[in-house]
């Protein structure tokens, strides 16, 4: 009952944005992710959806960003909710999942299988995809880190979709751009992510 109530509330909260987007002829870009896309520890105005929206506007794009990040979500969680979270008016979906699989030490083969299913479902719905990769931190075992990092470029190539190699490029391991936990970007860090990701989205939308 609680889950159904939450879904009903979310559907209602998101229902107005698509209408505005269609009225203006603007494509919708959905961010399917975890705490990074959800804006953990930040006000909504500083979270990735808002900052990415502002960056797209700065670059002249009319695309509408819709956040669909859930803190703590794994690729399995993303797979379970992809059909609900990525609404039918979505033109392009950024799949930014895998960080929690990494932190939990899950089998990379399982992570890739989940991501493959997510991408396949989106493609079947004629939704464009950008896969956002991750670079494991130095504290992760080398062999595991290499196997995990290889998931994203291999998946993008196999599925024929766009790749953003590292969602946290220029941000990870930089204390000035992260919150106290060292994992989640602060507002300045999110701004770096938005500036790196926005041109990729514009190119993918044109494609």
Mean pLDDT (the chain) is 90
Torsion angle of the four alpha carbons 26, 29, 35, 41, in this order, in degrees rounded to the nearest 10: -20
- Give the sign of the dihedral formed by CA 89, CA 167, CA 142, CA 73: negative
Residues 6+ apart with CB under 8 A from 17: 28, 64, 66
CA distance 33 to 22: 24
Give the domains, in start order, of the chain with CATH numbers: 33-72+90-206 (3.40.50.1110)
Active site residues: 35, 181, 184
Span between the terminal Cα atoms of the chain, in Å: 41
Tens-digit pLDDT profile for residues 93-144: 999 999 999 999 999 999 999 999 999 999 999 999 999 999 998 888 899 9
Question: How confident is the model at residue 3, as a pLDDT?
Answer: 38
pTM flag (> 0.85): yes
| pLDDT one-digit tens code per residue, 25-38 | 799 999 999 999 99
């Amino acid at each position: 009952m609680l889950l159904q109530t939450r879904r009903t509330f979310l559907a209602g909260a998101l229902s107005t944005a698509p209408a505005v987007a269609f009225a203006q002829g603007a494509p919708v870009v959905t961010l399917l992710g975890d705490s990074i896309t959800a804006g953990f520890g930040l006000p909504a105005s500083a979270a990735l959806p808002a900052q990415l929206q502002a960056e797209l506007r700065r670059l002249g794009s009319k695309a509408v960003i819709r956040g669909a990040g859930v803190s703590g979500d794994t690729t399995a969680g993303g797979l379970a909710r992809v059909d609900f979270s990525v609404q039918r008016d979505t033109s392009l979906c950024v799949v930014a999942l895998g960080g929690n699989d990494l932190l939990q030490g899950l089998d990379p083969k399982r992570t890739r299988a989940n991501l493959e299913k997510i991408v396949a479902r989106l493609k079947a719905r004629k939704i464009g995809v950008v896969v956002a990769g991750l670079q494991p931190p130095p504290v992760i075992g080398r062999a595991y880190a290499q196997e995990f990092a290889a998931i994203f470029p291999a998946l993008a190539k196999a599925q024929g979709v766009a790749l953003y190699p590292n969602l946290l490029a220029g941000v990870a391991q930089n204390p000035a751009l992260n919150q106290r936990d060292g994992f989640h970007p602060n507002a300045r860090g999110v701004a770096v992510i938005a500036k790196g990701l926005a041109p990729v989205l514009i190119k993918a939308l044109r494609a």
